[in-house]
């Protein structure tokens, strides 16, 4: 073991306990009582794993833990408390002492104050080399060509300090200083001691002069800022210094006989308290895989296969939490309880439903502030946009069906959209409806450029309004731009047609994929005027077709999106260059459409808030794009991401696009539609209550279950006006009974 932190020591103890004949050695260059930070928080899940794998260590930890249930959030002088969370913490130094004692009792050799030989040298003498040598891992650096590390340094500075008293809860406190926002994360780890982490944006840290402060001066400054939280008590350090958090990701975790563990392999931001937890769980999994597998290569492969998905999920949650704190200043004007709920659910792991289980009183108060009638989940509260009142907050997201003939929607569209309307959603959106034959993506795309198409759409809207009263139906108008003239999705997405291709046009003469897709024609002034008129004519037909809402598609690399992104707009005239120039044509189209769209009917705009590519649209650009459309009369912004360039690198995960909607909403106070891997009604309720979205658009869940919204109501025991069942379906409004499921067995049991 290279490194004597909790992960390395626990792995050593487990491997020795599994086979006492093993020769296990730990190298630790520091002294036994050297450590950074102060307290360690462990979850019940991690403790359960320790209990089954090593009852001796578990009992020793049990004797040391400080336990508490509450989280206190101080927002502009008001303290809001949420209970029922269940924390256990102890001093990091005491944790190391327990693990040292356990290793010695088992016969593990501890070589402290001694630098480990390089992993390459150790692997010649040992069967297994575990590199638990931390975030700055020399082992990882020495073999970077194999491990493929990717390190990201973030925008806040933080320092680990301690106070010689115990907080009675996990405490988050925000200080709005002359230099900017600072935040305190504090929790007890002993009967008379607490960890205190102070964090702030880099520019705030510099403005406050903390970049010029040593440990003592930093502790004194922080104690003055948070004097009320500390009760005028001082703070102390432990070789403490200001640092910027670094996220570590590796392409591989093993190299020959060497394997990475803990922070050497991965890091997760301290705001979700997962560093020691992940290292200890790594140790449990590694020991189990070595025991279970026939040889070392199989063991290391199994270890990585088991742990990587868990770590990736934790890192996504940690990244969401980290970014929330980076953008903390944008949330400070939220009502106090909504702010507290937002903070508690920031990682998307804690949700409305499990907060309601932990503390129904707190959650009920948040719901009341939101405007939920008694017994009504947040998703079933109405929302008004201009003259349209949506009975709930669920949107069937636009989904291309590629099933039209000559742009005319047929029976498929009637059944597809009609079924989702009967399924209870407040707003059902069409796929992108194209404004011209040349503006289609594929030959199967629907349009609104002929009277025949408008008549066919009227058949759909009439059905929705007649058979599902109270459901709104919206049309999304768009033009494919350079991504047009391609095959149906299931025949080869973004692949050109074998024959029958039509010419495509775009902001600039840049093909979507050079050598594969055709080079588009750069629109000249006549072309721009023609496209504007095509959108206007389609909007008139949409109004005549009975649509309740119109959305202008300015996302996903289609024509209007192509003007907005600097990666696809290389124009040198008034329609290119700066963001204001790139916005010019989409805003002209918006104005033209708004001018013919009925004034009492709302109009929204879908944007790609990031291109997920270097040099593309940034999150701040997205705020300014949204601001510009809002100033022209957009009633809401539908916030999607990506699909602008083929070489994008999205950060996929649950609700992965919602932070962009969140940022726009809280920066501008503008209603937003969140979209992107929102899959559960619990996610919808959580996003709404936290003030991150006003509507939630779901696509794939509605393909899986056309009655997703009605089933969500049934599962929550709701039967009010926000989700009425169609009379013919009312007999199916109760949730069918299900069989029991058993909890997973412990990962490693050595009792």
Query: Which residues are identified as catalytic?
Result: 558
Please tell me the distance from the alpha carbon of residue 14 to that of residue 288, in angstroms, as a whole number. Answer: 9
Largest CA distance in the chain: 85
- Print the SS3 string covering 431-495: EEEECCHHHCCCCCCCECCCHHHHHHHHHHHHHHHHHCCCCEEEEEEECCHHHCCECCHHHHCCC
Q: What are the backbone angles phi and psi of residue 51, rounded to the nearest 5°?
A: -60, -45
Q: What's the CA angle centered on 62, arms 59 and 63, to 5 degrees?
A: 95
Please tell me the distance from the alpha carbon of residue 161 to that of residue 435, in angstroms, as a whole number. Answer: 61
In three-state secondary structure terms, 126 is coil
Based on the number of CB atoms within 10 Å of its own CB, is 518 exposed (0-12), middle (13-18) or buried (19 or more)?
Answer: middle
Q: What's the CA angle centered on 535, arms 530 and 536, to 5 degrees?
A: 95
Only one residue has tokens 């009920």, namely 364
265: tokens are: 């392999």
Beta bridge partners of 506: 522
Please tell me the distance from the alpha carbon of residue 735 to that of residue 150, in angstroms, as a whole number. Answer: 46
Please tell me the distance from the alpha carbon of residue 242 to that of residue 206, in angstroms, as a whole number. Answer: 11
Residues 6+ apart with CB under 8 A from 364: 356
Residues 6+ apart with CB under 8 A from 673: 395, 604, 606, 636, 637, 638, 639, 661, 693, 694, 695, 696, 697
How many CA within 13 A on the CB side of residue 500? Answer: 9
Among the listed residues 231, 220, 211, 284, the one whose alpha carbon sits nearest the alpha carbon of residue 47: 284
Q: Edge-to-edge strands of the sheet including 243-250? A: 78-82, 71-75, 170-177, 180-190, 193-201, 149-163, 243-250
Please tell me the distance from the alpha carbon of residue 116 to that of residue 80, in angstroms, as a whole number. Answer: 48
Beta bridge partners of 469: none
Only one residue has tokens 């020691």, namely 276
Residues 6+ apart with CB under 8 A from 369: 335, 337, 338
Among the listed residues 738, 741, 736, 707, the one whose alpha carbon sits nearest the alpha carbon of residue 724: 707
Q: Tell me which H or E stretch contains 717.
A: none
Only one residue has tokens 């591989």, namely 252
In three-state secondary structure terms, 103 is helix
262 backbone φψ class: left, alpha, beta (φ>0; ψ -120 to 50): left
Q: What's the CA angle centered on 99, arms 95 and 102, to 5 degrees?
A: 145
Please tell me the distance from the alpha carbon of residue 5 to that of residue 393, in angstroms, as a whole number. Answer: 48
Please tell me the distance from the alpha carbon of residue 338 to that of residue 686, in angstroms, as a whole number. Answer: 11
Beta bridge partners of 248: 151
Please tell me the distance from the alpha carbon of residue 48 to that of residue 54, in angstroms, as a whole number. Answer: 10
- What value does the CA radius of gyration of the chain take, rounded to a whole number of Å? 29
């Amino acid at each position: 073991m290279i490194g004597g932190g909790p992960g390395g020591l626990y792995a050593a103890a487990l491997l020795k306990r599994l086979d006492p004949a093993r020769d296990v050695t730990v190298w630790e260059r520091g002294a036994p009582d050297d450590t950074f930070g102060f307290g360690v928080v462990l979850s019940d899940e991690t403790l359960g794993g320790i209990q089954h794998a090593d009852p001796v260590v578990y009992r020793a930890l049990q004797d040391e833990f400080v336990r508490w249930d509450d989280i206190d959030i101080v927002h502009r002088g008001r303290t809001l408390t949420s209970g029922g969370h269940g924390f256990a913490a102890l001093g990091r130094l005491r944790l190391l002492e327990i693990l040292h004692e356990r290793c010695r009792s088992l016969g593990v050799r501890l070589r402290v104050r001694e630098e480990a030989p390089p992993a390459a040298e150790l692997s010649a003498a040992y069967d297994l080399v575990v590199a638990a040598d931390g975030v700055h891992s020399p082992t990882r650096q020495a073999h970077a060509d194999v491990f493929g590390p990717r390190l990201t340094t973030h925008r806040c500075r933080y320092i680990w300090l301690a106070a010689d008293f115990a907080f009675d809860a996990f405490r988050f406190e925000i200080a709005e200083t002359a230099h900017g926002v600072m935040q305190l994360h504090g929790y007890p780890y002993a009967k008379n001691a607490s960890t205190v982490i102070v964090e702030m944006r880099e520019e705030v840290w510099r403005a406050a002069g903390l970049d010029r402060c040593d440990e003592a001066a930093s502790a004194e400054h922080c104690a003055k800022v948070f004097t009320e939280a500390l009760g005028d008590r001082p703070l102390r350090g432990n070789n403490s210094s200001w640092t910027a958090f670094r996220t570590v990701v590796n392409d591989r975790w093993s190299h020959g006989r060497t394997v990475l563990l803990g922070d050497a392999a991965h890091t997760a931001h301290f705001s979700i308290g997962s560093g020691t937890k992940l290292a200890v769980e790594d140790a449990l999994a590694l020991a189990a895989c070595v025991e279970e597998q026939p040889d070392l290569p199989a063991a290391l492969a199994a270890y990585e296969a088991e742990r990587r998905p868990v770590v990736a999920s934790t890192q996504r949650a940690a990244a969401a939490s980290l970014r929330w704190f980076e953008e903390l200043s944008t949330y400070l004007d939220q009502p106090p309880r909504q702010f507290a709920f937002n903070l508690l659910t920031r990682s998307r792991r804690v949700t409305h439903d499990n907060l309601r289980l932990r503390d129904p009183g707190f959650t009920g108060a948040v719901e009341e502030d939101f405007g939920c009638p008694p017994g009504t989940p947040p998703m079933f509260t109405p929302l008004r946009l201009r003259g349209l009142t949506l009975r709930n907050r669920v949107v069937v997201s636009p989904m291309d069906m590629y099933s039209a003939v000559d742009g005319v929607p047929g029976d498929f569209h009637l059944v597809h959209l009609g079924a989702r309307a009967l399924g209870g959603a407040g707003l059902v959106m069409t796929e992108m409806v194209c404004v011209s034959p040349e503006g289609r993506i594929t030959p199967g795309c629907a349009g609104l450029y002929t009277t025949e198409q408008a008549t066919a759409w009227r058949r759909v809207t009439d059905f929705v309004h007649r058979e599902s009263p109270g459901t709104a139906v919206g049309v999304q108008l768009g033009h494919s731009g350079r991504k047009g003239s391609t095959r149906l999705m299931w025949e080869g997405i973004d692949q050109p047609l074998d024959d029958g291709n039509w010419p495509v046009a775009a902001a600039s003469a840049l093909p979507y994929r050079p050598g594969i897709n055709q080079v588009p024609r750069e629109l000249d002034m006549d072309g721009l005027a023609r496209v504007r008129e095509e959108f206007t004519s389609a909007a008139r037909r949409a109004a005549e077709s009975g649509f309740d809402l119109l959305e202008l598609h300015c996302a996903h690399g289609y024509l209007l999106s192509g003007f907005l992104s600097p990666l696809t707009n290389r124009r040198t005239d008034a329609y290119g260059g700066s963001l204001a120039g790139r916005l010019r044509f989409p805003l002209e189209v918006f104005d033209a459409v708004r001018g013919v769209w009925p004034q009492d009917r709302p109009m929204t705009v879908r944007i790609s808030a990031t291109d997920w590519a270097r040099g593309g649209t940034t999150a701040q650009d997205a705020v300014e794009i949204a601001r510009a459309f809002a100033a022209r009369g957009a009633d809401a912004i539908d916030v999607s991401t990506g699909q602008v360039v083929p070489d994008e690198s999205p950060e996929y995960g649950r609700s992965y696009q919602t932070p962009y909607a969140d940022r726009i909403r809280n920066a501008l106070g503008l209603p937003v539609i969140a979209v992107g891997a929102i899959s559960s009604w619990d996610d919808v309720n959580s996003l709404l209550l936290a003030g991150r979205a006003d509507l939630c658009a779901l696509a794939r869940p509605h393909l899986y279950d056309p009655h997703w919204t009605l089933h969500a109501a049934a599962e929550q025991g709701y039967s009010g006006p926000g989700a009425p069942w169609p009379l013919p379906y009312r007999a199916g409004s109760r949730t069918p009974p299900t069989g029991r499921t058993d909890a997973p067995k412990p990962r490693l049991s050595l009792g």
